[in-house]
């Protein structure tokens, strides 16, 4: 309905120099295990929400970009290094890395790509011994740490 207020999803890099807003539902949310996404994210796999360019805006700062292939760019914060997005050059959408959203719990992937490079242990992580950050550091040590991470809101 045209009168309905569009929900806005926001996010940004770790330092807060780059922020973005999304005004439409992602067309697709997926994980990519491909070797290029492993390198670009510095992680075992990457996860992306595909957003139409018309529904997306950088609202603070401008990311730097690396042309990772002849067809694609990957945007990142030049100040803190956070990987932010993947986009086909002149494509209709931008794919935002889901960990960069302020509420990543709302961005749930529904399919996987690049599985030729999927690391064998990934499917078993739910069975690894687990601790919260508080359990890992303890309250005394955790209380002395000053975060320089931008908060999960504008
Ligand atoms: Zn940053
Ligand atoms: Zn990939």
Ligand 1 midpoint to CA 138 (Å):
28
Ligand 1 midpoint to CA 151 (Å):
12
Number of neighbouring beta carbons within 10 Å of residue 54: 10
**pLDDT tens-place string over residues 42-63:** 999 999 999 999 999 999 999 9
Return the ligand number nearest the Cα of 32: 2
Sign of CA dihedral 104, 74, 7, 57: positive
pTM to 2 decimal places: 0.92
* Strand spans (E) along the chain: 9-12, 19-22, 28-32, 46-52, 56-60, 64-66, 72-76, 83-88, 93-97, 111-113
**pLDDT tens-place string over residues 66-113:** 999 999 999 999 999 999 999 999 999 999 999 999 999 999 999 999
Going by pLDDT thresholds of 50, 70 and 90, the confidence category of residue 6 is low
Ligand 2 midpoint to CA 124 (Å):
21
- Give CA–CA dist 77/98, Å, rounded: 15
Hey, is 54 helix, strand or coil?
helix
């Amino acid at each position: 309905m045209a009168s309905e207020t569009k929900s806005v999803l926001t996010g940004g890099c770790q330092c807060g120099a780059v922020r973005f807003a999304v005004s439409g539902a992602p067309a697709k949310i997926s994980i990519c295990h491909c070797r290029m996404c492993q390198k670009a994210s510095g992680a075992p796999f990457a996860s992306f929400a595909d957003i139409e360019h018309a529904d997306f805006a950088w609202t603070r700062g401008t990311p730097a970009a690396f042309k990772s292939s002849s067809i694609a760019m990957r945007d990142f914060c030049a100040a803190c290094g956070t990987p932010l997005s993947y986009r086909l050059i002149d494509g209709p959408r931008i794919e935002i890395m889901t960990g960069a959203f302020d509420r990543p719990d709302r961005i749930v992937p529904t399919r996987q790509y690049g599985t030729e490079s999927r690391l064998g242990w990934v499917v078993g992580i739910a069975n690894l011994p687990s601790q919260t950050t508080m359990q890992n550091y303890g309250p005394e040590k955790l209380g002395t740490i000053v975060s320089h991470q931008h908060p999960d809101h504008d």
